Each structure stands twice: as C-alpha cells, then as structure tokens.
Amino acid sequence: MYDEKKGMGSYNAAIDDDALEFLADISNGDARNALNAIELGILTTDRSDDGVIHIDLATAQECIQKRSVRYDKEGDNHYDTISAFIKSMRGSDPDAVSYYLAKMLYAGEDIKFIARRIMICASEDVGNADPNALQVAVAAAQAVERIGMTCEDGTDCRNYGVLDGIHEAKVLIGDMIECNPDNIIIYGNSSLNIMYDTIARSMTHGVMGSTPWCKLDKVKFLCPVPGYDRHFAITEYFGIEMINVPMLPTGPDMDMVEDLVSKDESIKGIWCVPKYSNPQGITYSDETVRRFARLKPAAKDFRIYWDNAYCVHHLYDIDQDHLIEILAECKRAGNPDMVYKFCSTSKITFPGSGVAAIATSANNLEDIKKQLKVQTIGHDKVNQLRHVRFFKNIHGITEHMRKHAASLRPKFEMITDMFDKELGGLGVGTWYKPKGGYFITYETLEGCAKNVVAKAKKAGVVMTPAGAPFPYGKDPKDSVIRIAPSYPSLEDLTTAAEIFVVCVKLASIEKILEEK
C-alpha cells in the first residue's frame, strides 16, 4: 500500500484501520485476496480534496466482493486455492497447507487432483533437497487413489452410520487391549465420556434389565485409593456413595473387595486402573485379576469398571508389567457380563482427538446399543480411519509408544533417582518406581501432603492438589502427592524436583518438631 517500489505507494493512498481489519479477516488467510482488493480500491476510488485516496470500510467491502472468497470448483477460486496450497507447501508452512487442504476437501475437490499437485511439488520443489519426498507423495497418491476415504468394507467414512465403529479400528483397538473385535464398540475421543455414559445409563435405565439405580435408596461404588480423580468426580456427580479400598502393591485389597461386594447389594461397581495405575503406577497381580473375575457380588448388576488407560504405556522395552486379560478371565470364571473394559488413545496419539472404546460381553453390548442408537448416528469414522492408517497394526502402536517412552523415561528416572538420593533412608516418605504409565506418587509422613504442595506452590512449582486422588478430594492421611512428569522439559522438571524434595524435607521437619 505504501511501498513505492513494490507496491502502490506512489498513488498516495491511505486505508482506515477498520477496513484493514475487515480485509485481513475476510481474506481467509490468503494475502493475495487482500492485496487484490486494495489494488482495486486504489484504482477505482476518487482522490479526496486533501489529495489522498481514502479506502474506508465500505470501499473495502465493495472491492472484496468483486473477488469472491467462495470456493468454486470450476472457476477462479479453484485455482487460487490450489495455488495457495502449493505456495504453502513451498513455504514449508504446515498450518497453511492443512488449512487449504481442508478447505478443498470440504468443498468436494477431487482428492486425486490434490494428490497430483503434491507429487508435482515433491518432485519439482522438494526433489533435490529430499529425494524421499517423491516416494512418500507417490505412495500417498496411490493409496488415496486405490483406497480413498473409504474403509475396508467400502463405507465412506465421511458419511453417517456404522454405530459401533469401523471394523479395522476394532481390530486395531482389539489387538491393543487383547480383546476380540466383536466385543468392542468404538466411540468418540474420550473414554471418560464412555464411563460417564455407562453410569448415566445405569442410573436411568438399569443394567441389562435391572432396576434403574436412580430408583434405589442407595448406590455405592468401591474406589481403590489413591485413584483417578475424574472417576470419583463421575460417581460423586450422580450421588453415588464412594467407599475407599486401600491399594496394595498387588492392586486393591481383595480381601476387603470380596467381603464388601458379596455382602452389600447396593455396591454396584468398582473403579479400576489395572495397569500402571493412576497415580501409583501399580499393575494388578495375576492373583488380583483372578480374584476379580471370581467375585460373587450380591448385586446382579454389579460391574467392574476396568479402565485400561495405560495398557501399552511401558517405559522399558524388556522390563514390562503384564496384566491378565479380564474379559476372558471373567468368562472362564462364569461371570462373562461382570466387566466393562475402557480404553483410549488419548495418551498415544492426541488427548482430545484420539479414539476411545469399550470392550465387554455380547449381552452388555446389546444393552449399551439400545442407548447408543438413540444417542448418535455414529462417531467420527474419519478419525478412526486415520488412526488405522497411521498405525497400520499393533506393531505400529508399539513402535510409536517406544518414542513416547524415550521422552518419558529420563523424566521418571530423574525423579525417582533424586528421591533415592535426597530422601532415601530419611524415613520421611515412600514412593514406587513405575515401569509405565504417566505418574509417580510420593507418600509423605501423615499430615504433610497439603503442606508440601503449598510450599512448592510458593516456590513456583504447581502440582496436582493434595487430596485429588481420593473420593470427595479427601485424603484421610493427608499423605499422597501425585506427580505428573510428562509435560515439563527435563530441565524444568529437574528444577521442580529439587524444589519438591526441599519442600518435603521442610514439611517433614515441621511435622517431627510438632510431635516432640
């Protein structure tokens, strides 16, 4: 606008701020639209008395109208968009590339046409810098030509339908959680959402014909503690009474579980994170799983909520925990309908846009589908398909999880090494060394957890509130602190861990002095 050499500076024109903002907005990320509109405005607007060509909002609106932003497959806009797409690839701007790709696909552009342009770019623009680019582009073009957006059975994944998920996604998830694909329903992105739905349905409609829980005087759930706060939030939300069951190094205290479940008909479920548990990283022992499968609950509609969120989340290649598959074990024990198994790829691909699933018996599936078919016409199959195409099979998931492990392992080890070095032998707390999962738990002396978290906060280290891993946010001993090491860099985490151990020492000294 003001550049005399490359622009229209010699015209002595000026543009109002609101006109500029409008053009930036309406140009849809394509600066050429805005530049064209400005050029048109300058060339077609009369000079004012002050000798300046003023482009105001009305002029800008009129000029951009002449260059429609609608996507017209046959006309100019088709070429504008594909050209912007190519220039974005050339400019190595993945956000812009995704934007124009999405725009073209949304408008119904032929995917083969787009794939051809990508091949041309890979060959002509990228070729010398990276000869592999062409191979990748050609492979993608071939795949899309031969396979398209359809899944194995020919279903177009962009359309409605396939209530329980596409078959290949069931196979992939089935391999991941060691279940028959026929026992699986694929949902949207969130397993927590499935758990919520499962409880909501049991409240309003019961479980396989049982009395809806909302009609009962009392409904109770067993909650192994410490556990996952969001499980407890769901049960609290529905007014379900929660009973703490202590976690042992082998899993929940099964003597207590067996005793309570067999005597009390109002106990309708138990929350379990059986592998690399949240927050301690404990994996249930074989005996624990077998005892679960052999439970004799007083309530026919008692279900085990088996949240296998960390099923493939090993930190080590060889030294891994193993968990007995619960569905098969329950079937063998004559309790085929007693378990709902949940999982998702939230900690594998994307939290918030992964794929989640439930696995359970045929009877339970039938019960669930009565609700599901009213609730939705089908979940996001494009997302299911992209997960399948990205991983291909369980080996793809395993390889991918190795990369996560490579990033997480040093963080876990740094923390537990520091605990060993700084806190080992002092008698001021205990911790496990998880072989997988996402958390480390530090157990302080009784009555110190809140103090440690508060001290750390004062020093700039924000942690999960003490008490969070317990029903109603109440840790009876005020001793459990959940540490989530995944997000910060190793450097920041090291500083945070140093601060944390100092806070533990201070809080422990205060406690010891108080008792003297």
Element (H, E) at 14: strand 13-15
440 binds ligand PMP (CB under 6 A): no
Give the E-state strand segments of 379-499 in sequence order: 429-431, 440-444, 480-483
CA distance 112 to 135: 16
Number of residues that bind ligand PMP (CB under 6 A): 12
278 binds ligand PMP (CB under 6 A): yes
Q: Is 46 exposed, middle or buried (0-12, 13-18, 19+ CB in 10 A)?
A: exposed
228 binds ligand PMP (CB under 6 A): yes
Alpha carbon distances (Å) from 453 to 443, 448, 465, 482, 506: 12, 9, 7, 10, 12
**Closer residue to ligand PMP (CB): 133 or 273:** 273
> What token pair was written down for 189?
């992105």
356 binds ligand PMP (CB under 6 A): yes
312 binds ligand PMP (CB under 6 A): no
427 binds ligand PMP (CB under 6 A): no
Please answer whether residues 420 and 404 qualify as being in contact, where contact means their C-beta atoms are separated by less than 8 angstroms: no
> What token pair was written down for 353?
């846009």
**Closer residue to ligand PMP (CB): 235 or 346:** 346
CA distance 491 to 510: 29
**Which of 191, 198, 285, 360 touches ligand PMP (CB under 6 A)?**
191
CA distance 33 to 46: 22
**Maximum Cα–Cα distance across the chain:** 93
Shortest spacing between CB 233 and ligand PMP, in angstroms: 11
Site for ligand PMP in 85-144 (CB under 6 A): none
416 binds ligand PMP (CB under 6 A): no
Shortest spacing between CB 229 and ligand PMP, in angstroms: 9
351 binds ligand PMP (CB under 6 A): yes
441 binds ligand PMP (CB under 6 A): no
- Residue 357 is which amino acid? A
Q: Name the segment binding ligand PMP (CB under 6 A); options: 29-37, 69-77, 107-115, 189-197.
A: 189-197
Shortest spacing between CB 507 and ligand PMP, in angstroms: 27
What are phi and psi for residue 357, nearest 5 degrees? Answer: -150, 160
Q: Residue of minimal CB distance from ligand PMP?
A: 344
> What token pair was written down for 216?
């009962």
**Which of 126, 192, 247, 282 touches ligand PMP (CB under 6 A)?**
192
183 binds ligand PMP (CB under 6 A): no
**Which of 33, 183, 190, 349 touches ligand PMP (CB under 6 A)?**
190
**Closer residue to ligand PMP (CB): 41 or 279:** 279
Taking each helix axis from N to C end, the angle separating 362-375 and 191-205, rounded to the nearest 10 degrees, works out to 90
The SS3 call for residue 280 is: coil
**Which of 346, 360, 441, 479 touches ligand PMP (CB under 6 A)?**
346
Q: Which residues lie near ligand PMP (CB under 6 A)?
A: 190-192, 228, 273, 278, 307, 309, 344, 346, 351, 356
